[in-house]
Amino acid sequence: MFMSTKLIVGLGNPGPQYENTKHNLGFWVVNELLLRLRLSRLEPLCRSLIARTEWHDSEIIFAKPMTYMNNSGQAVNMLVQKFDIAPHDLCVVYDDLNLDIGVLRLRKAGSDGGHNGMKSIIHHLGTQDFPRLRVGIGKVEGDWMDHVLNAFSATEREYINWAIPCATDAIETFVTDGVQTAMNRFNGRVCPKHDS
């Protein structure tokens, strides 16, 4: 008998033209989790691509909404309803241009912070009381849309390549020990290069 069913959602945009953009960082973290757990098969369900597994006495559903970022809430709400996910068992992973590159910030609840994917999820769920993990993509200089829909530079990728495994560890800690422990352990974690 599982202790709980948890839904881990990574936000991004479907399609090869968006694959390497900053806005797809949530997808990248889910991909890293799937790689860690040797899950290679994704199935279409509830306007998402999902994988299901048993992990640390929980049933885990990993999901990448295929609705495009601005409509992420449609897919997430469908998954929450189908699998009867409690708000505290949902964790959404996404990029944040208000955080320095590679910085992690996990919260139990909160506003959308100007992120359109989160805005859609909060609207469709009717609550903002669910955990979320933000991964910094660097503060915007100029047009924010150009910023999030462009690829990382080679230097930026060094930070992100460090941050993604840390984000994966944070999600695992969320699963095993809960959101508060994960917050205590990972919030503010930065690539050592920030200090150089």
Q: What are the φ and ψ backbone dihedral angles of 91, each rounded to 5 degrees? A: -135, 125
Terminal Cα distance for the chain, rounded:
48
pLDDT in tens, 133-170: 999 998 877 666 666 778 999 999 999 999 999 999 99
CA 171 to chain centre: 9
pLDDT in the model for residue 6: 97
Mean pLDDT, range 173-184, rounded to an integer: 96
Q: Give me the residue spans of the domains in the chain.
A: 5-195
DSSP assignment of 88-122 equals: GGEEEEEEETTS-TT-EEEESS---TT-HHHHHHH
Is 51 in contact with 42 (CB distance < 8 Å)?
yes
pLDDT in the model for residue 196: 45
Tell me, which fold does domain 5-195 have in CATH?
A: Rossmann fold (3.40.50)
Is 81 in contact with 132 (CB distance < 8 Å)?
no
pLDDT-above-70 percentage for the chain:
92
pLDDT in the model for residue 1: 53
Judge whether 23 counts as a catalytic residue.
yes
pLDDT in the model for residue 190: 72
pLDDT in the model for residue 191: 66
pLDDT in the model for residue 175: 96
pLDDT in the model for residue 148: 73
Residues sharing a CB contact under 8 Å with residue 146, sequence separation 6 or more, in sequence order: none
pLDDT in tens, 55-102: 988 999 999 999 999 999 999 999 999 999 999 999 999 999 989 999
Helices 25-36, 154-177: inter-axial angle, 10-degree rounding: 60
pLDDT in the model for residue 108: 97
